[in-house]
Structure 1
Amino acid sequence: MADTAPTPDSGFTLEVETLIIGAGACGMVAALAAQEAGQAVLVLEADPVPAGSTALSAGLIPAAGTSFQRAAGIDDDAARFAADIQAKAKDENDPDLVTALARGAAPAIDWLAERFDLPFSVVTDFDYPGHSRRRMHGLPSRAGAELIDRLRATCEDRGIDIICERRAEILYHDGRRVTGVQATLPDGSTERIGCAKLILACNGFGGNRDLVGAHMPLIEKAVWFGHDGNRGEAVLWADGLGAKTRHLGAYQGHGNVAHPHGILITWATITQGGVQVNRDGQRFWDESQGYSEAARAVLAQPGGVAFTIFDARIAGIARQFEDFKQAEAQGAIRTADTLAELAEVLDLPEQALQDTLKAIPTGGTDSFGRTFGATPLSPPFAAVRVTGALFHTQGGLETQGDGLVRHRDGGTFVNLYAAGGAACGVSGKSDSGYLSGNGLLAAVVLGRSAGAAPVDQ
């Protein structure tokens, strides 16, 4: 159980300069940056091996102005990126934090590629909701598991200690200075670790159903598709510390999770011209709003399910993602040569499905306000039955642009930093799902604020 306490009189079992809670992408990137700056680093991870929400995702990272974009002929910059973030989140974000993340992302991507040989590339064949440029960067498999594996191997090669099966439960402090944590081992014993700096890169609270019900009741009944270790320790510690939190009702959902297979289906199936229909064979919303908004829209349909309809051309684009290939292998993706056959395979009313797809305005805007491209859906067709899921929470501890956690009474803590799922991200206060505090991008703030990140200012 997450708790806080004054610094123990008996001291600590061991002490480190920089202690990081969480070995997801955010924590490991922060560790690499801190070590490169000459700091002694220790990372605690509750799982048997590093994974976190990152391993469940596509592992894609938005960044503007990278060498990879320039090589692909994409003109982009941090100012445009920041404007896109604020537009998607309805200007509900801290502008200083948005600026810090937008400016820091590209140098971080290039640093990881040049310094540690991570083979990033830009996704150039489809657009993500809210992005005015193609700026999503990923590794070859387009899978978060690959990103986690490569970061873990890189940390191991450089001798960074990642101690697994250590769940931090008590956070010690002297007022606004954090002094260490107490971690529980698999056998139930505990150890106390002191630190000069503490970086919370741990988790959100999507796996804590009580907190989800309290802060985001509209998504409470969604399938939980995130990492079960996301129990909300950071938010619970915030109460004891007097730390300021923000946007606890914000979340990233996903309305394109294959059901009952539980496999995330890339939103490229929609952005390239696909649509979603309900059990009546009818469209029910503007799918271009995004995959996070889709979670609530799909859950509101009969049975909480929908069907994503696309074609072989779109499937070819989606196949660059490992998750999509797994969905095909498990039979989640259904195909048919005609719409009549597809309706039979999906048990949908044929005429309604025919009418729905016929009504899509090629190169025009429909009654929902969605504008379609010039390439219509054509046989052979493909489809997948989907439901809405909660992937991770977006709100959390409020930080400055330098990553220091703010106090409820004003000012900041002296040496407490937060990012990853522990921090409030920049998706606004609802379900825009555009960009969260999770993952590598937020590690830029962590590393820099700890005097470690190789980020140009």
Structure 2
Amino acid sequence: MSAPAIRRTLPDHVDIETDVLVIGAGACGLVASLAAHDGGAEVVVVERDASPSGSTSMSSGFIPAPATKAQRAAGIADDEPARVEHDIQQKAKGRAVPELAHLAATEIGPALDWLAERHGLEWVVLTDFLYPGHSRHRMHAVPEKTGAALLARLSAAVEACDVPVVTGARAQTLLADDDGTIRAVEIERPDGHRETIGCKALILACNGYGGNPYLVARHIPEMADALYYGHAGNTGDAVLWGEALGAQTRHLTAYQGHGSLAHPHGVLISWALMMEGAVQVNAAGARFSNEQGGYSEQAVAVLAQAGGTAWNLYDARIHDFACGGFPDYRDALAAGAIREGRTLADLAAATGLPEAALAETLEAVGRFQSGAQADPFGRDFTEKPALAPPYYAVKVTGALFHTQGGLMIDVSARVLRGDGRPFPNLFAAGGAACGVSGPEVSGYLSGNGLLTAVAFARVAGRAASARKS
């Protein structure tokens, strides 16, 4: 495969034509295609893989949204877009692009209700814990509570609308007029065969650049050697096309990390364990951070430990909680990643951690939980019970999940030029667009990835469909 490119000469012919062409068949691309279809447009989705998966399938599938019917049915009636916007900016230290934070907060609730009412997606709201930075229970998931299940339900909705998803088709070259209007896209098949698809509007839903080592080293060098736990196809095509067109980019230094990927098993361990009272210790058996600061920035803290690893340490109450609520945790248990000890000595033997240091750490945590002493890292332990035997532990590492910066868009999800003017028919959403996490890892609020994937995708699909005439 050659590098993504821009060609300023128009095609001699097109193999097929469509009103709206969507590049990428993850959650973002599928939601965009549904919105464009509902707007009356003819839509085609192209996907580089043999079957859609992307970052969505690798995620938890959780989407934060306020004022939805599902949220109200769960008894949460005091959430609103302004509160979500505040939480986004609070986590990003006020550095998220204001118009994008507002757009995401106001669009996501109606988008989830629309997906439920128009396309049959079923939402449940997670009410048994609060993710870091969220002031209300607003995490929505499909009943299976996995990203793979979310993608499967979106794929079924797209199929029911007879929207074609062309797989094994990597978008290679954008064919553009001198004014930046995209006239067609050349796709390449695995055997090298090329086809040209004409379009009236193009939506870039091909995620970020986490799978491009050159771009990672250039923009987020602290993660250049980190494990990448995103989709290999996230090679930054949208950013590279945008730069070639003279588009404006924003916050390319932003990304979502995660400080709890089972090692070496590669299974995500939900940060809900930390919110329930688990702690992280390094190879010396000592805590090294405030574990409730956020799982994204915790990736950096974990990677700074000896060997780039840490251990999540918790008890039977939290183990049972995780087994009951998180399929990924059950996968980790089945894979042998979870260690158990009826006593602290047993756990030390099972993990290789020093028993004396573990005892000292848990004694200190007990003092923090009783209120007898303040945690020097600033964590409040008083709202959860003290850890008690039997104990459990899982070895984890920090990882790069996906990037949060990208092409700057307006409130219609149109890509902006360097001078701030929009391109006539080029749209971007999800990881292809600038997100709402500000310029660095600590600005990532839980769910920001799927938040912008779904909210901006619906905006892009609606606006793109208006160009069909």
Question: Shorter-chain TM-score category?
Answer: over 0.9
Aligned residue identity for 2:51 = V
Q: Match of 1:32, SS?
A: helix
Q: What is the TM-score when the length of structure 2 is the normalising length?
A: 0.94
Unaligned runs of 5+ in 2: none
Moved more, 135-144 or 360-369: 360-369
Q: Is the 8 A contact 2:10 2:176 kept in 1?
A: no
Deviation at 1:231, TM superposition (A): 0.8
Q: Is residue 384 of structure 1 aligned with residue 385 of structure 2?
A: no
Q: Match of 2:195, SS?
A: strand
Q: Match of 1:362, SS?
A: helix
Deviation at 1:449, TM superposition (A): 2.7
Q: Match of 2:18, SS?
A: strand
Root-mean-square deviation (CA), in Å?
Answer: 1.3
Following the alignment from structure 1 to structure 2, what is the Cα–Cα distance between the partners of residues 245 and 53? Answer: 21
Matches within 5 A, 1:160-309: 160-174=163-177, 175-309=179-313
Aligned residue identity for 1:12 = V
Count of residues in Structure 1 that have an aligned counterpart in Structure 2 = 452
Following the alignment from structure 2 to structure 1, what is the Cα–Cα distance between the partners of residues 192 and 440? Answer: 38
Aligned residue identity for 1:144 = G
Following the alignment from structure 1 to structure 2, what is the Cα–Cα distance between the partners of residues 444 and 419? Answer: 9
Following the alignment from structure 1 to structure 2, what is the Cα–Cα distance between the partners of residues 7 and 421? Answer: 28
Q: Is the 8 A contact 2:39 2:462 kept in 1?
A: no
Q: Is the 8 A contact 1:176 1:412 kept in 2?
A: no
Structure-2 residue corresponding to 1:442: 456
Deviation >3 Å, runs of 4+: none
Aligned residue identity for 1:351 = A
Q: Match of 2:208, SS?
A: coil
Deviations 1:226-252 (A, max 9, x none): 000111101110121001111111110
Following the alignment from structure 2 to structure 1, what is the Cα–Cα distance between the partners of residues 420 and 224? Answer: 32
Aligned residue identity for 2:276 = Q
Deviations 1:254-290 (A, max 9, x none): 1100000000110011111111000000000111111
Q: Is the 8 A contact 2:41 2:465 kept in 1?
A: no
Aligned residue identity for 1:312 = A
Matches within 5 A, 1:11-160: 11-74=13-76, 75-160=78-163
Structure-1 residue corresponding to 2:348: 343
Q: What is the TM-score when the length of structure 1 is the normalising length?
A: 0.96
Aligned residue identity for 2:58 = L
Q: Is the 8 A contact 2:11 2:175 kept in 1?
A: no
Following the alignment from structure 1 to structure 2, what is the Cα–Cα distance between the partners of residues 317 and 234? Answer: 40
Deviation at 1:25, TM superposition (A): 0.4
Following the alignment from structure 2 to structure 1, what is the Cα–Cα distance between the partners of residues 370 and 454? Answer: 37
Following the alignment from structure 1 to structure 2, what is the Cα–Cα distance between the partners of residues 81 and 144? Answer: 22
Following the alignment from structure 2 to structure 1, what is the Cα–Cα distance between the partners of residues 335 and 415? Answer: 44
Following the alignment from structure 1 to structure 2, what is the Cα–Cα distance between the partners of residues 33 and 188? Answer: 32
Structure-1 residue corresponding to 2:363: 358
Deviations 1:117-145 (A, max 9, x none): 21210011111111011111001221100
Q: Is the 8 A contact 1:125 1:317 kept in 2?
A: no
Q: Is residue 412 of structure 1 aligned with residue 412 of structure 2?
A: no
Following the alignment from structure 1 to structure 2, what is the Cα–Cα distance between the partners of residues 298 and 182? Answer: 42
Q: Match of 2:172, SS?
A: strand
Q: Is residue 329 of structure 1 aligned with residue 334 of structure 2?
A: yes
Moved more, 358-367 or 302-311: 358-367
Deviation at 1:164, TM superposition (A): 0.3
Following the alignment from structure 2 to structure 1, what is the Cα–Cα distance between the partners of residues 359 and 252? Answer: 42
Q: Match of 1:317, SS?
A: helix
Deviations 1:306-330 (A, max 9, x none): 0001122112222222111100101
Q: Is residue 421 of structure 1 aligned with residue 431 of structure 2?
A: yes
Moved more, 87-96 or 76-85: 87-96
Structure-2 residue corresponding to 1:455: none
Aligned residue identity for 2:438 = G
